[in-house]
Structure 1
Amino acid sequence: MVRWGRLPGSPLRLPAGPDKLGAMPSRPSRALLGLLPPAVVLALITWQVAADGPLLRTDERLSHALVRPDRFSELLSDLGEVQIAVPALVLVVGYAAWRGRAAGAARWWAPSLAALALMALVPLIVVPLKEWTDRPGTPAVPPATGYYPSGHTATAGVAYGSAVLVLLPWLRTPAARRLAVATGALLVAAVSFGLVRRGYHWPLDVVASWCLCAVLLGALRLRLAADALRVGRRPACAPARPRQSGAPRPPTRTTRTSEPSASRTYGGARKPQDTP
C-alpha cells in the first residue's frame, strides 16, 4: 500500500514509503534492457558481414529468390529518400511544437528537438558502417560497395518512427494512436520491401537497419518519458495551470457582530428627550 504524506511547508501531498519510491529506479533499467536484443542482433549481423561469414550465403540465396525489379518496388523504396522522409518528420515535429507552445506546456520544444537530433545522428552511424564493412551490392545494381546497412531503411525508420512518437501525446483516442503507429510501421515496411524486391539491398542490410532503428527509437522513447517525468510527473502536452493575476477577490461572506449598534446608522448625539 502506498502511504501519502505532506511535505513540510507545502500543500502538496506526495507518495511516501518503499512501495512507491523503491519501484522507480528499476523502471529505467528494465527499459534499457529492452534495447539489448536488437543491439546484439545488429552486432552479430555486422560481424558476419565484416568476416564474410556463412550467414551471407543464406542472405544471397534469399535475395535471389525475392528480387523482381519493377517500377512499383522502386517507388516504394523512394519513400526512404531523405528528400521525402525528413520533410515529413519536420512537418510533424513542427506541429507538435506548435501544439505544445499553444497549450502552455513546459519544455514544449524538447520532444521535437530530440527527434531532429536523432535524425541527424543516423548518417553519423550509417556512413562509417558502410565504409568499414564495404559490402558489395546485389547483381541487380551496378558494381559498387558500401551497401551495409541500408541507409534508406534507417532514414525511413527513424524519420517515421520519431514522427509517431512525437505525435502520440496529441492524439486523443486509442484508435487514432493505433492508426498512427500502424501508418509508421507500414511506411517502413513498404520501404524495406521495395529495397529488397528491387534489388537495391540484401535482406540482411535491411534487417540490420531495423535493429539500429529499434535501438535509436527506444532511446528516444526513454528520453521523452524522462522529460514527461521531469515536468511535474505529467505528460509534456498537459497544459500549464493558469496563473492568477491582479488583486485577490474579496470574501463573499460577511462578518456579523453581536452588538446591535454595529449595524445601526449613526444619527448624531442623542438628546435628553430621546433617552427613555
Structure 2
Amino acid sequence: PGTTPPVPGRPTIFLPLLRPALWALLFAALTWQVAASGPLLGPDERLGDALRATSAIPSGPAEFFADLGNLPVALPVLAAALAFATWRARSWRPAAIAVPAMALVPALVAPLQSLIARPGPPPMAPGTGFYPSGHAATAAVAYGLCALLLRPHLSARPRRALLAACAALNLAVGLGLVRQGYHWPLDVLGSWLLSLALLDVCAWAWTRVRVRTQAGHL
C-alpha cells in the first residue's frame, strides 16, 4: 500500500511489538496493584508465607537457584553466549542489542524499587524496595538473551529444548527467591513481565537486523 506495485507485508512490520506492549501493560497493572496496596497483595503474601514454610522445596537447592540471579553469576554466562554468537555471526550486531538490553535491567528496576518501596518478607524486614525483584529480572534477561543468541545456531528440536530449559531455570530462580524469603511472589512475577517485554523487543530487533542483512546480500 502506498507504492507501485504494493510491497507485501510492510504494514505488519510492527505487529510483533504488540506482544511486548501487552507484557508492559500487564506489568503496569501489577505495579499499580503493588503500589496502591491492592487486593492482590493479601493472596500474594499468604502464598509467600506458605512457600517459605514448605518442606517440599529444600533450602539448599532453593538458595543455589536464587543465587543464579546474582550479576557475578549471570553476566559471565551471558558474555560467553554473546562471544559465541558474535563469532558465529561475524558481526557486532548481537552485542549492540544484547548489551543495552542487559544494561536496562538495573536502570529500570532500581528506580522502581525506590519509588514503590515495597516492604520485603519477614526475613528481610524492615527493609523496603523489593518490587520488582532485581535478581529475578537479571536472571530472566541474562539467560533469556542467551537463549535468543544461541537459537539461530540450533536446529528445531535443540532450540525448543533450550527455550524450555531457560523457562525452567527462571522458574527455579523465582521459586528459590520466594522460598528463601528474599522476595514476595508478585515481586518475581513483575520482574518476569518486565523482562518478557525487553526480550520480545530484542527478538524483534534481531529479526529486523537479519532481514536487512539478508536483503543486503541479495
Q: TM-score, normalised by structure 2?
A: 0.91
Question: Residue 79 of structure 2: which of 84, 90, 97 is its match?
Answer: 90
Aligned to 2:212: 230
Whether 1:35 aligns to 2:24 is no
Q: SS at 2:215's partner residue?
A: coil
CA contact (8 A) 2:178 2:184 kept: yes
d(CA) in 1 for partners of 2:45 and 2:89? 48
Whether 1:23 aligns to 2:9 is yes
Aligned to 2:51: 66
Q: Which has the higher contact order (CA 8 A, sep 6+)?
A: 2
Aligned to 1:141: 124
CA contact (8 A) 2:119 2:125 kept: no
Note the C-alpha offset of 1:140: 2.6
Aligned to 1:219: 201
Aligned to 1:116: 99
Note the C-alpha offset of 1:26: 1.6
d(CA) in 2 for partners of 1:35 and 1:99? 28
Q: SS at 2:107's partner residue?
A: helix
Aligned to 1:181: 163
Q: Which has the higher helix share?
A: 2
> Aligned letter for 1:156?
A
d(CA) in 1 for partners of 2:87 and 2:130? 38
Which stretches of structure 1, 4 residues or longer, exceed 4 Å deviation after superposition?
Answer: none
Aligned to 1:3: none
Aligned to 1:51: 36
CA-to-aligned-CA distance 1:27-57 (integer Å, 9 cap, x gap): 32x2111122211111111111111222211
CA contact (8 A) 1:115 1:163 kept: no
d(CA) in 2 for partners of 1:211 and 1:70? 26
Note the C-alpha offset of 1:164: 0.9
Aligned to 2:114: 131
**Percent of residue pairs identical:** 44
d(CA) in 2 for partners of 1:184 and 1:219? 18
Note the C-alpha offset of 1:70: 1.7
CA contact (8 A) 1:45 1:208 kept: yes
> Aligned letter for 1:83?
P
> Aligned letter for 1:126?
V
d(CA) in 2 for partners of 1:143 and 1:201? 13
d(CA) in 2 for partners of 1:58 and 1:41? 18
> Aligned letter for 2:48?
S
Q: SS at 2:10's partner residue?
A: coil
Note the C-alpha offset of 1:22: 3.7
Q: SS at 1:25's partner residue?
A: helix
